[in-house]
Amino acid sequence: MGVDLELLIHLLNFSFLTVAVVMAIRMVLRSGFMMTWIVLASAFILMAVSPLLDLYGHLYQQNHSIVLESSDVLAIFSSLLVLVGIYQLRRIIAERIEAQQKLHQQLDELQRFHRMAVGRELRMKELVAENAALREQVARQELKG
Over range 97-123, report the average pLDDT: 91
Q: Which residue has the higher pLDDT, 101 or 18?
A: 101
Kindly report which listed range (39-43, 58-62, 94-98) carries the lowest average pLDDT score.
58-62
Query: With pLDDT > 90 as the criterion, what percentage of the chain qualifies?
Result: 19
Q: Are the C-beta atoms of 58 and 7 separated by less than 8 Å?
A: yes
In terms of Cβ atoms closer than 10 Å to its own Cβ (0-12, 13-18, 19+), residue 32 is exposed
Whole-number pLDDT of residue 119: 84
For residue 61, the 8-state DSSP code is T
Q: Which candidate, 70, 73, 86, places its Cα nearest to that of 36?
A: 86
Domain ranges in the chain are: 2-144
